[in-house]
C-alpha cells in the first residue's frame, strides 16, 4: 500500500510538473506571437499612413497643376517626403520576403518616376515649352512604365506556377 501511495504521488507530481511546463511553454509562445503581431500592426499602421501621404501628395499636385499656387506644391513635396520616409523605415520589414522586397522596389521606383514627371512639369511651366513637345518626350517613359508593371505583375505568378505545370 505504501508503494502504491508513493507511486501515486510521483505520478501526480509528474502530471503537475508536466502541466506547469506546458503552461509555461504555451505562455511563452503566446508572448512571442503577441510581439510579432504588435510589430505587424505597427507596420500596417505605417503602410496606411504612407498611403494617406501618397494620396495627399497626388491631390496636392493636381491642385497645383490647376491653380499654380506654390503652397500646394509645398504640400506635395512635404507629403512625398513623408511617404518616402515611412517607406524607408519599413525597408527592413520588406526585406523579410522576396515578394515584399520586390514590391518595395516597385513602389520606390514609381515614386521616383512620378517625381521626375513632376519636375519635368515644373520645368515646362518655367521654360514655357509647348505641352505637345513635353507629351511626346514622355510617351516612351509611359510605355516603359506600363510594360514594366505588366512584367512585374505577371512574371512572378508565371514563375511560381511553371514548376507545378511542368511537374504534372
Give the pTM. Answer: 0.55
CB 115 within 8 A of CB 87: no
**In the predicted model, what is the mean pLDDT of residues 148-164?**
76
Q: Which of 90, 95, 16, 11 is nearest to 48 (CA)?
A: 90
Q: Quote the CA–CA distance of 34 and 51 in Å, as a whole number.
A: 25
Q: Which of 98, 1, 93 is nearest to 42 (CA)?
A: 93
**In the predicted model, what is the mean pLDDT of residues 63-81?**
84
- Longest CA span, the chain: 106
pLDDT over 90 (residue 17): yes
The per-residue pLDDT for range 24-66, each reduced to its tens digit, is 999 999 999 999 889 888 888 888 888 888 888 888 888 887 8
Segments in 68-97 forming alpha helices (H): 70-89, 91-94
Amino acid at each position: 500500500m505504501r508503494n502504491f501511495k508513493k507511486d501515486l504521488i510521483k505520478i501526480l507530481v509528474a502530471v503537475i510538473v508536466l502541466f506547469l511546463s506546458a503552461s509555461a511553454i504555451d505562455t511563452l509562445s503566446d508572448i512571442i506571437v503577441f510581439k510579432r503581431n504588435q510589430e505587424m500592426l505597427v507596420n500596417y499602421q505605417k503602410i496606411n499612413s504612407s498611403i494617406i501621404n501618397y494620396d495627399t501628395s497626388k491631390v496636392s499636385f493636381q491642385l497645383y497643376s490647376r491653380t499654380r499656387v506654390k503652397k500646394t506644391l509645398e504640400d506635395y513635396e512635404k507629403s512625398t517626403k513623408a511617404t518616402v520616409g515611412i517607406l524607408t523605415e519599413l525597408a527592413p520589414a520588406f526585406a523579410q520576403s522576396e515578394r515584399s522586397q520586390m514590391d518595395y522596389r516597385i513602389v520606390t521606383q514609381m515614386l521616383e518616376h512620378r517625381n521626375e514627371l513632376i519636375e519635368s512639369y515644373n520645368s515646362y511651366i518655367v521654360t514655357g515649352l509647348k505641352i505637345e513637345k513635353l507629351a511626346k518626350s514622355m510617351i516612351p517613359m509611359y510605355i516603359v512604365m506600363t510594360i514594366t508593371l505588366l512584367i512585374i505583375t505577371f512574371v512572378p505568378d508565371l514563375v511560381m506556377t511553371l514548376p507545378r505545370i511542368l511537374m504534372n
